[in-house]
Amino acid sequence: MDLDVAMRIASAGMKLQAARLRVVSENLANAESTAPTPEAEPYRRKILEVAARRDRETGATLAAVRRYGVDRSELPLRHLPGHPAADAAGYVRFPNVNPLIELMDMREAQRSYEANLNVMQMARTMLQRTLDILR
C-alpha cells in the first residue's frame, strides 16, 4: 500500500473519531439538562452515522460522518414535584443520556484516534527514512 494512501485513511479515521468525541462531550455536558417547562422536550442524546466513501484520487475507502442525528429512545422520568419542568403528576423528563455508555464511547473513540495517529506517525517515519536513503 502506498504510504500516501495509508496517511489519507488514517487522517479520515482521526477526523471521524474527533467528531465522535465532540458528540460524546456534548452528550455528557447535557446529561442532566431538563426542559424549562413541562411541555418542552429536554435534550436528546446526539448520535452520528458513519459511512464509507471512496476517495477518487487514491481509490481508497475512507470512513466519514454520514449525518448527525438524535436518539429517539424513550426519555426517563423522575419524580421531582417541585421542579419547574414537572408535569401535573410531578414527573420530569430527563435526557436519554447514559453517562456510562458515553464514557465507554469516549474511551473507544480515544483509542481509535490514537491508533490512527500511530499509523500516521509510522508512515511519516517510513517516508523520512526513504528520503534519508535516497540522499
Q: What are the domain boundaries of the chain?
A: 3-134
List, for residues 2-18, the tens digit of each pLDDT value. 888 999 999 999 999 99
**What are the tens digits of pLDDT across the range 90-105?**
999 999 999 999 999 9
For the segment 60-76, what is each residue's pLDDT rounded down to a tens digit?
Answer: 999 999 999 999 999 99
- Nearest C-alpha neighbor of 118 from the set 2, 6, 5: 6
- Averaged pLDDT for residues 115-135: 93
CB neighbourhood size of 9 (10 A) = 21
| Per-residue model confidence (pLDDT) at position 1 | 58
pTM for the predicted model, two decimal places: 0.87
Predicted confidence band at 129 (pLDDT cuts at 50, 70, 90)? very high
Do strands 46-54 and 91-93 pair parallel, antiparallel, or not at all (unpaired)?
A: unpaired
What pLDDT is stored for residue 2 in this prediction?
A: 86
Burial class (CB within 10 angstroms; exposed 0-12, middle 13-18, buried 19+) of 11 = middle
